[in-house]
């Protein structure tokens, strides 16, 4: 989800080169053929649908459209069960290669996070200019912002300014 800085840009998935750099940095092989515009658009669609689910983990209403998008992408990116070197745990692995395999790996990580209980701690920052994905390490799972120093302060200042404006309007008679 953090492949784009919502406030300042750039979007790493805006170009084939950017997507290939992201793939390499995150342990995936760069695509053998350059991703086309449809590949880039589908990658962004997947990212934004997942970001919407992370907003839900931070108090936003359920986004049924995002769920339908993920269901559609998942149908095109099958996962298979694999077993690692005698380990007792089963692992979900992509059945396809290239970008559909990457999308499947991302969906597999999502499923595994849901199963191991970490999913609810993954959130999207409530600051609409940010929406950075973060892991809520607080004991009560109550973190709202990716950074209290930046986004939390922005939100608190906006609330303060709104309260001041309201009280000043009331004090001036109107």
Q: Which of 28-37, 72-81, 99-108, 112-121 has the lowest mean pLDDT?
A: 28-37
Asked whether the predicted pLDDT for residue 151 surpasses 80, the reply is yes
pLDDT in tens, 9-57: 899 999 999 999 999 999 998 888 889 999 999 999 999 999 999 999 9
pLDDT at 49: 98
Question: Does residue 169 carry a pLDDT above 90?
Answer: no
Mean pLDDT value of segment 93-110: 92
> Which pLDDT does position 83 carry in this prediction?
77
Please check the confidence at residue 87 and state whether its pLDDT lies above 70.
Answer: no
pLDDT bracket for residue 163 (50, 70, 90): low
Closest CA to 130 of 25, 20, 19, 2: 2
């Amino acid at each position: 989800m953090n492949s784009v800085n919502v406030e300042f840009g750039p979007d790493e998935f805006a170009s084939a080169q950017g997507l290939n750099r992201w793939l390499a940095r995150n342990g995936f092989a760069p695509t053998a053929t350059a991703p086309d515009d449809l590949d880039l658009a589908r990658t962004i669609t997947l990212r934004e649908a997942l970001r919407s689910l992370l907003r839900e983990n931070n108090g936003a209403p359920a986004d049924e459209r995002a769920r339908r998008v993920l269901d559609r992408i998942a149908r095109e990116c099958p996962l298979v069960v694999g077993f690692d070197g005698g380990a007792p745990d089963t692992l979900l692995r992509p059945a396809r290669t290239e970008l559909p395999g990457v999308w499947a790996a991302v969906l597999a990580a999502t499923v595994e996070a849901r199963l191991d209980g970490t999913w609810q701690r993954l959130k999207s920052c409530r600051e609409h200019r940010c929406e950075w994905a973060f892991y809520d390490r607080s004991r009560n799972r109550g973190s709202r912002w990716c950074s209290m120093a930046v986004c939390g302060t922005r939100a608190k200042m906006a609330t303060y300014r709104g309260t001041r404006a309201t009280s000043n309007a009331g004090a001036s008679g109107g």
